[in-house]
Chain A
């Protein structure tokens, strides 16, 4: 998704980094956010995503590198001179001003005298026309959130920065606001840069997601691309769930790599392998839980030829309505997760049953085996503590 040509409104970060004493919050990184896109910075707390956002806003001085908006280098401009507005995590609405004045704040600072029409229109856009004369504390969380968006958007910034704007809302309201924000972004066509730790939120809303970890961008791409082709174990585990199997490269034939895992053989398309695969070397084989078909061991003969297969025993099941989640104990991976759509449920698939897991080689991906298998999983999510600025 990186654009190389200099469109007038791209946000370009060049070698930008931030250190606090000996702690490096953001390692020097290059990033281009195309004009008009919905861009998400995704990562666990302390990964440097908020610091990156604050450097774009001008609230944090970069230790090195430059920030440009279009052709303008804004690295050393104070925030009040940047054509950028922020929706803060806690909204930061002015408690002594009513909703109207909160929204009008930016316009008035730029010397506009008649703001009524614009403010009214903006309040209508976020469906708060009725609340104009209330104080922020009289509104609900969701309403305050919309005021924060309106207060920023009314200035028609080149870029709107959103710092975990939905973090304080409950799940249902959050889903609703995700769609709302996406609608507003499409309507106004302004570049949105959204910081979040919620991978589902990033995937639903953004065109492009940059996954950050330990002050670095691990991978950048469209949500589907990141999900289907993770390049690191962190991305594989942080976005959804992945089953990772350690395997040895057995042979290579054409565009396929044949791997040895336990006693079985697995096939991996070379194009989907992010690691150098030399014969005899190790590779991590990954497969998403919903790509796997579960067949009872008695029916193993019916499985089409050419699919990757692994045998195991069901350790646990949990029924969650739309699907059933199985945990399979297999020799190559102790906790293999499989999600099966509840279309025709096989009554024999209960804990203790012997099963065969099989999937299309096209869904397999390969990762460098030198990384931790657990990077980006729930237990290790907060990779670095502190600096959750």
Chain B
């Protein structure tokens, strides 16, 4: 439930209204406009959180029922047993985020500055995968990366798989059920969440700043390094957050494209909840994941210093 709660977290942003200049007779208007969002947050975010928090400190069994016993040891037990999956989640999500940035930035740059009349078409193509289900798209990767398929065959004949196997990313002639497959799936599935914020912040940059930099002896590359990239930092930060946060809690990619050796924390939480039915451990893991993400994000935002950007 907690992974779901995290996946739900972004939508409540939508109904927050922009306030109109207050008129004397409309004193209650802002509150009325806020109400749907607040009620939504209360019912679907705050209440489940409280419920899960209490579950995480309960003890008992399915047959005898659970009681709140303030058993905080569950947190420690969960962490010491599943820390490899935590680390793997951070590593996979981090790698996928980095790859998304690497792939997404040039495309966002192209759409913002060079696409001309093709801009809207490319944007639609970026969003187009959302028209099919997340699951189907991930399953498609099973076919793409299938053993003996053209992709694996090509990678094999180019000896790419030798290198990735040596790095421990793939195993032998297989790509499926390896870390590479999981990271590929994560990268693919979250790429639009990187491209769109990057595009938005690049598109806002005044083209005359590029001209001004060129006029002041900056080569095109220096212009990018000193003007374009710093000004696109808000997009880089929000894009990496929108990619990293859901990717680190994701379990579908590891489930469908990975193996038992590539389990992420999402898979553990899912099986604790739905298969092993150990609700306290599942809830504790969810809270640990949430806290870890919060700390990492806070440090990241502080370090990138984007509050200072206009």
Contacts and interface: CB of A to CB of B under 8 A. Distances in A.
Interface string A77-90: 01111001110101
Interface stretch (A9-17, A91-99, A164-172): A91-99
A106 B216 contact: yes
Contacts, number: 64
A220 B42 CA distance: 73
A85 B231 contact: no
A109 B214 CA distance: 10
A151 interface: yes
B310 A59 contact: no
Interface string A304-345: 000000000000000000000000000000000000000000
Contacts of B212: 86, 88, 92-94
Contacts of B227: 94, 96
A106 B217 contact: yes
B303 interface: no
Given A94-B209, A96-B309, A96-B310, A109 B218 contact: yes
Contacts of A116: none
B210 to A, nearest CB: 9
B137 to A, nearest CB: 37
A96 B211 CA distance: 16
Interface of B: prevailing SS:
helix
B213 interface: yes
Given A94-B227, A96-B230, A109-B222, A57 B209 contact: no
Contact of B208 (A79, A84, A90, A106): A90
A135 interface: yes
Given A92-B209, A94-B209, A80 B230 contact: no
Contacts of A79: 211, 214-215
Interface string A165-196: 00000000000000000000000000000000
B75 to A, nearest CB: 42
Given A59-B211, A90-B208, A135-B310, A96 B231 contact: yes
Contacts of A155: 216-217
Q: How large is the interface on B (under 10, 10 to 19, 20 to 34, 35 or more residues)?
A: 10 to 19
A59 B209 contact: no
A94 B217 CA distance: 14
Interface string B113-149: 0000000000000000000000000000000000000
Q: How large is the interface on A (under 10, 10 to 19, 20 to 34, 35 or more residues)?
A: 20 to 34
A58 B220 CA distance: 14
Contact of B217 (A110, A135, A137): A110
B206 interface: yes
A109 B225 CA distance: 12
Contacts of A85: 215-216
Interface in A138-160: 151-152, 155
Nearest to B222: A109
A88 B216 CA distance: 12
A80 B215 contact: yes
B219 A80 contact: yes
B113 to A, nearest CB: 15
Contact of A109 (B206, B208, B216, B231): B216
A109 B309 contact: no
Interface in A23-80: 57-59, 78-80
A90 B212 CA distance: 11
Contacts of B230: 96
A92 B230 CA distance: 15
A158 B218 CA distance: 17
A151 B216 CA distance: 8
Interface string A102-128: 000110011000000000000000000
B216 A105 contact: yes
Contacts of B310: 95-96, 135, 137
Contacts of B211: 59, 79, 86, 88, 92
A58 B215 CA distance: 8
A151 B231 CA distance: 19
A78 B231 CA distance: 23
Nearest to A101: B226
Given A57-B215, A94-B213, A106-B217, 20 more contacts: A78-B214, A80-B215, A80-B216, A86-B211, A86-B215, A88-B208, A88-B212, A92-B206, A92-B209, A93-B212, A94-B209, A95-B231, A96-B310, A105-B213, A105-B226, A109-B216, A109-B217, A135-B310, A151-B216, A152-B216
Pairs A-B, 7 closest by C-beta atoms: A92-B212, A106-B216, A109-B217, A92-B208, A79-B214, A95-B310, A86-B215
27 contacts: A58-B214, A58-B215, A59-B214, A59-B215, A79-B214, A80-B214, A80-B215, A80-B217, A80-B218, A81-B217, A84-B215, A86-B211, A88-B208, A88-B212, A90-B208, A94-B209, A94-B227, A95-B209, A95-B310, A105-B213, A109-B217, A109-B218, A135-B310, A137-B310, A151-B216, A152-B216, A155-B216
